[in-house]
Structure 1
Amino acid sequence: MQVKKYQAADTQQAMRLVRAAHGPDAVILDCRSVAGGVEVVVSLEGMLETAMAAPQAPSFATPQQTRSTPVEREPTALDALFNRRKKAEEEISQTVQAAASDSKRPAAAEPQMVWSQNEELLTMKQEMASMKSMLMDQLKGHNWQQASHQAPEYQELNSFLSAIDIDPSLGKRLSAEIPADESVTVQREMLKMLLSKKLSVNAPPTSGAICLVGPQGAGKTTTIAKIAAQYVLTHGRSGIAILTTDTARVGAQEQLRAYGRILQVPVHVASNAEEAVKTYRLLCKKNLVLIDTAGISFRDKQGISELQALLAGMQDVQVFLTLPADAENYVQSEIIDAYSSLNAQGAVLSRIDEAMRLGGAVSNLIQHRLPLVWCANGPRVPQNLSAADAGKLINMAVRMAKAFEVRRNGQHSAPEEQVAAESVPAAVAASAAPRRGSALNVRV
């Protein structure tokens, strides 16, 4: 087969060269991207066959026909072939232009492994997070040492604040309100009172629409089940419904359905925002509507924007941020900042039983002026959920700080400290237990 190649900067220039050399009936065999532009391969034999298959017929028009309006002729096989080739030429031109635009992009079109599937990168990410946490701890220690050097009279108080894991900037403001000539015991008691006073606490709502938002694994679904179980034990099951928009995790849906079957509470699943809004409008007649949302990372700005648009379509929804207590202090701060666009009415401090210290969470709640509404201290339903109490939470933070200091120093705690540390979760669990129905202990 005889072929001829034409190279040009782009597809349009190449097509103009082909038309100029072979006319509109050129048979294009291939068109591909090359260095510096594109290359078009044209068949010369196809041109010869086309020319032989369609000889020009002689004209026998009469003078009258010549002077009149020309008569439209019927389409021939040559016309159909020309139209088909012209259409194919346009499709090839569009394909080449798309390929040329893709070749100019910096990223390759070949599939690549996602970073979360690469074990080496995942290990590196964990090591980097550990190094960052260690550096942040060292920086806090340096800040506390500097504060103690500037104000030696507050050295014992600063050491106490550092043990609780209170943010240094907040600790300096609190120390300024405490007299330096008081004893260490009095200073600590005054500090606990100041923390309890500055930590804003709101009463949990018992009606309306409650929506929990937060990152993955924060405990939103389990908290929804705890709130539902406590409501059923107190008010019955007729006025409550659960709506979940978490379609990313099938396990979350099954978990809520299992709780719904045990509590005999209807659970509705919405696959998209439009369906969620329609379902919510149907459930507005209920006394309490609990809305579970998908976990969104604080780095996922688009996901948070979509969640904001979803909540905008639901009227009178009370939004509460689920804040994991076992996360690093700077991570908690990033979570609160990322979800600030949702205008949360309060926070749920979850995973308290997994946290080493609580001073970081207390500092973030105070500095971001986010009221605390619930405290979740374990996976048991409904016992491990209680209304927020600033005094109890600060006392728990102090006891956990003592246990943390003992473990960090490699010493054995005294029996009194062990009993105090072990009695903290039990006290919170006891305060969360409902008045009746104590036999209910749901674990799925």
Structure 2
Amino acid sequence: MNIRRFFGKNAREALAQVKQALGDDAIIVANRSVNGGTEIMAMLETDIASNASSAPTDMGTDQSRSLLDFVNAQGQPTRQAAPQAAMSAPGVQNNTPVAEEPAANEGAIMDMLKLHSEQQEQAYQVATQTLEDKMMGMMQEMRQMRSHFETQMSAMTWQHHLQHSPAKSKVLSTLLSANFSASLSRQIAEKMPQHIDVNKAPMWAKEVISRNLHTLDDEDALLDRGGIYALVGPTGVGKTTTTAKLAARYVMKHGTQNLGLITTDSYRIGGYEQLRIYGKILGVMVHAVKDEEDLKIALNELKNKHMILVDTVGVSQRDQAVTEQLSMLSRADSPIQKLLCLNATSTGDTLTDVMRSYKKHDIAGCIVTKLDEAAAIGNVLDVLIRERMRLFYTTSGQRVPEDIEVADKPALIERVLTPHQASLPYQYLDEELPLVISSMMQTAGQEQQHV
């Protein structure tokens, strides 16, 4: 586009220059007052003819008026006023020349130019927004098409692999039915050697899981070493009962004199009272703390104890209080090892969310609770393997101290890979596996973990 600038002492003079240079069909692009007069930017209508077909057609016919239209509109009130003045005084003959009113005319012209410029700007904004909306819609459709295409291609690839490797198909079906994630199941299947027979595939999978599931090697070494342990985790996971069970195991081995109990659960009704009752049964005093200063005082009073167990208030993994509580534990004068309690009945995505929220604060290990209530435990073992977290204990009931034991790796793996009646509706057919794997991998964002 060839836009030209014209300068005059006033708007009338500048318009005259536009008309002389570009003719009556010139298009006013913009105008402004400058030092010494008025500046007008204009262009020929033919310069934008090539772009007319791409402009919106529903913006009205008054968006780009020519110079002739502008001048005619400006002159029309003056031409109409003259006859009316003559008719109002027919008997009076006035030969005196009528003086021009340049200030008034110039003000009207400036108003018209301003309106014209605003209309041009509005038309440009509407056209730009329309184009952006169309582009956003096209990009969204392209993303959907790409996702669908990738899913289909992934399904075809997996179908090819599984048709040529019944052992991989067997492992995938077994792990998915046991509530392992698609990500971990796929990685285990991909690492399976080609020579593995389909009947030996489940045993090979057990060995891989056993090699990657880390558990407590020696409980006696932990109890003999002592230290300060805080049980953390979401509400309702069973931290208070588990604290009492651990306390009972320690008392059975070392007595009550060297054990200290602390609770930060001052929010839940009966939170302190529950642990106090367990402490009374064991013969151990329970210290209740409300803030960081109280915690430091309690730890100082118990500094001569061989082992101190801290029961914390339950906090949702998405609550800012997680950071506040764990930071309070980290700022204590004595080092506190944090044990994360995981509910075996929770879904895999919930457990992953919990793990990643708490793991940022130096978790030493995990305790899996409520194994007796879980129909399948692949979800919790899957999270422990993917997040490389050590499993210390498992609990399976409310009895103290009977329903807690050191994590038994062989028993857990045997249980997770043994089919049971409740899992039958969730088992996949061989022909369903390719699409299931590809869809779940798309949802999971294809996480990469090393097995």
Same fold (TM over 0.5): yes
- What displacement does 1:370 show? 0.9
1:392 aligned partner: 411
- Tell me: CA distance 1:290–1:306, structure 2 relative to 1, closer, same or farther (3 Å): closer
Is 1:355 the counterpart of 2:374? The answer is yes
| TM-score under structure 1 length normalisation | 0.57
Which range moves more in the overlay, 319-328 or 198-207? 198-207
Offset from partner CA, 1:181-232 (integer Å, 9 cap, x none): 4333311011011101101123442111111110001111111000011111
Q: Which residue of 2 aligns with 1:375?
A: 394
Question: How far off is 1:269 after superposition?
Answer: 0.8
- Counterpart of 1:278 (choices 297, 320, 342) is 297
* Larger-Rg structure: 2
Q: Deviations over 1:409-441 (max 9, x none)?
A: 8xxxxxxxxxxxxxxxxxxxxxxxxxxxxxxxx
Shift of 1:356: 2.0
Deviation at 1:149, TM superposition (A): 5.1
Structure 1 counterpart of 2:233, one-letter code = G
- State yes or no: 1:239 paired with 2:254: no
What residue is the counterpart of 2:176 in the other structure?
162
Aligned partner of 1:404 among 394, 417, 422: 422
The C-alpha deviation readout for 1:42-87, integer Å capped at 9, x for no partner, is xxxxxxxxxxxxxxxxxxxxxxxxxxxxxxxxxxxxxxxxxxxxxx
Q: CA deviation at 1:273?
A: 2.1
* 1:199-218 mapped onto 2 (5 Å cutoff): 199-203=213-217, 204=219, 205-206=222-223, 207-218=226-237
Distance 1:217 1:345 in 2: 21
Other structure's SS at 2:277 match = helix
Q: Which residue of 2 aligns with 1:151?
A: 162
- Cα displacement (A) at 1:368: 0.8
Q: Which letter maps to 1:405? A: S
Post-superposition shift, 1:408?
Answer: 5.7
Q: Structure 1: how far apart are the matches of 2:240 and 2:158? A: 42
How far does residue 388 in structure 1 lie from its aligned partner after superposition? 1.3
Contact 2:258-2:305 at 8 Å conserved across structures: yes
Change (3 A) 1:312 1:175: same
Figure out how many residues of one structure are paired with residues of the other and give that number. Answer: 268
Inter-partner Cα distance in structure 2 for 1:184 and 1:314: 56
Aligned to 2:364: 345
SS at match of 1:271: coil
**Residue of structure 1 equivalent to 2:270:** 251
Residue type of the alignment partner of 2:203? E
Determine if the alignment matches structure 1 residue 196 to structure 2 residue 214: no
Match of 1:179 in 2: 193
Q: Residue 131 of structure 1 aligns with which residue?
A: none
CA distance in structure 2 between the partners assigned to 1:155 and 1:148 by the alignment: 9
Kindly indicate whether the alpha-carbon contact (under 8 Å) linking 2:228 and 2:335 is maintained by their aligned counterparts in 1.
Answer: yes
Deviations 1:110-132 (CA, angstroms, capped at 9, x unpaired): xxxxxxxxxxxxxxxxxxxxxxx
- Where does 1:12-411 land on structure 2 (aligned, <5 Å)? 147=158, 150-152=161-163, 153=165, 154-203=168-217, 204=219, 205-206=222-223, 207-399=226-418, 401-406=419-424
Alignment of 1:430-441 (within 5 A): none
Match of 2:207, SS state, is: helix
Q: How many Å apart are 1:157 and its aligned residue?
A: 1.8
Cα pair distance change 1:291/1:314, threshold 3 Å: farther
The more displaced of 171-180 and 252-261 is 171-180
Displacement of 1:371 in angstroms is 0.9
RMSD, aligned α-carbons: 2.3
Q: Which amino acid aligns with 1:404?
A: A
Contact 1:144 1:162 in 2 (8 A): no
Structure 2 residue ranges without an equivalent (≥5): 1-150, 428-451
Would you say the 8 A contact 2:299–2:334 is kept in 1?
A: no
Give 5+ residue unaligned stretches, structure 1.
Answer: 1-139, 410-444
- CA displacement, residues 91-113 of structure 1 (integer Å, 9 cap, x when unaligned): xxxxxxxxxxxxxxxxxxxxxxx
2:329 touches 2:336 (CA, 8 Å); kept in 1?
A: no
C-alpha separation in 1, matches of 2:256 and 2:298? 19
Contact 1:244 1:270 in 2 (8 A): yes
Q: Is the 8 A contact 2:228 2:309 kept in 1?
A: yes
Deviation per CA, 1:19-47, whole angstroms, max 9, x where unpaired? xxxxxxxxxxxxxxxxxxxxxxxxxxxxx
Query: What code does the residue aligned with 1:403 have?
Result: Q
The share of aligned pairs that are identical, in percent, is 30
